[in-house]
Amino acid sequence: MAQSMSFLLAFSLLALFPLCFCDKTPGGYLYPQFYDHSCPRAKQIVKSVVAKAVAREARMAASLLRLHFHDCFVKGCDASLLLDSSQNIISEKRSVPNQNSARGFEVIDEIKSALEKECPSTVSCADILALAARDSTVLTGGPSWEVPLGRRDSRGASLSGSNSNIPAPNNTFETILTKFKLKKLNIIDLVALSGSHTIGNARCTTFRQRLYNQSGNGLADSTLDQSYAAQLRTRCPRSGGDQNLFFLDFVSPTKFDNSYFKNLLASKGLLNSDEVLVTKSEVSKKLVQQYAENNELFFEQFAKSMVKMGNLSPLTGSRGEIRKRCRKVNS
């Protein structure tokens, strides 16, 4: 009898905390079924609002995916990015990587508002970001994955962390890899997650130096296809046009696929941080080649790496809070 009771207890725990998508944190577990009883329609509500937003503007999928990245790389996945500046908070939205760049906050507000009506003070803004990133990927043709849930929201932000921790377009390969390693993400995660640049846009100011003065000698980047560079110069002049937008993947800019990696092998990666994946490391170049040849392999690794990134230092248990509005801490 005692043995059968032990078996039943073990079985029920496995059902509650599935092995594949469960992350143990100091305050508790993240697991996909976290809201199954407290807010059964949570995932459906997030998906519905994201779908409408992406239907209105295809670019929004990449914007929402990027919010999750920029949140997790600073203080962990705790929705600190969403906080506006206040008396005690300097918003991460003011940082170099986010200013005039991070967007989609109104969509997150819309999701939060719908969830607060359905189940007040239950679903965290941090979990909304994680779900919206997954849904955006799926809506544009990318892979799906079970999102571990149960994150709570921070009561503070870190402008300095946002400025220093998020990989920048002009960072060297070693700097980017170091920033990933500091988050316990490896070179496989780096290359796979860079594949998110299969959708979305970049501003002229983020890659201008590649067109005119890559090494301080007044010459264009030699690792950039010159006909592609000439095409880019028509809308990205030496001065002015800073905010002009360009597709990160000009082949299939709104479809989540592996054409980004094919572009890199053709010397047509838009950002310096893209192209260094094939020019500065044999290990990352080999991964780029593998993903360019095998879309399924890329999708599989992207999903794994997104779960891994989504598990970065979440607040669980009694730490943090469930914000009523994502832009401000509860009073």
Residues belonging to the active site? 70
- The reply, when asked if residue 84 is annotated as ligand binding, is no
The answer to whether 206 and 271 have CB atoms below 8 angstroms apart is yes
Short-list 291, 287, 277, 169, CA closest to 223: 277
Which helix (H) or strand (E) covers residue 45, if one does?
Answer: helix 42-56
Tokens 């054409």, residue? Answer: 259
CA distance linking residue 49 with residue 44, whole number of Å = 9
| 3-state secondary structure at position 11 | helix
- The reply, when asked if residue 205 is annotated as ligand binding, is no
- The reply, when asked if residue 198 is annotated as ligand binding, is yes
The answer to whether 29 and 316 have CB atoms below 8 angstroms apart is yes
CA distance linking residue 196 with residue 260, whole number of Å = 8
316, burial (CB in 10 Å: exposed 0-12, middle 13-18, buried 19+): buried
Which helix (H) or strand (E) covers residue 136, if one does?
Answer: helix 125-139
- The reply, when asked if residue 80 is annotated as ligand binding, is yes
The answer to whether 86 and 96 have CB atoms below 8 angstroms apart is no
- The reply, when asked if residue 78 is annotated as ligand binding, is yes
- The reply, when asked if residue 296 is annotated as ligand binding, is no
Please report, for the chain, how many H helices and E strands are present, in that order: 14, 4
State both tokens at 299: 């999708």
The answer to whether 81 and 74 have CB atoms below 8 angstroms apart is yes
Short-list 160, 164, 192, 162, CA closest to 178: 164
- The DSSP bridge partners found for residue 201 are 247
Which helix (H) or strand (E) covers residue 106, if one does?
Answer: helix 105-118
Neighbours of 24 (CB within 10 A): 11
- The reply, when asked if residue 92 is annotated as ligand binding, is yes
Q: Could you say which DSSP state residue 29 is in?
A: E
Residue numbers in the known binding site for substrate are 167
Residue numbers in the known binding site for Ca(2+) are 71, 74, 76, 78, 80, 92, 198, 249, 257
Residue numbers in the known binding site are 71, 74, 76, 78, 80, 92, 167, 197-198, 249, 257
Residue numbers in the known binding site for heme b are 197
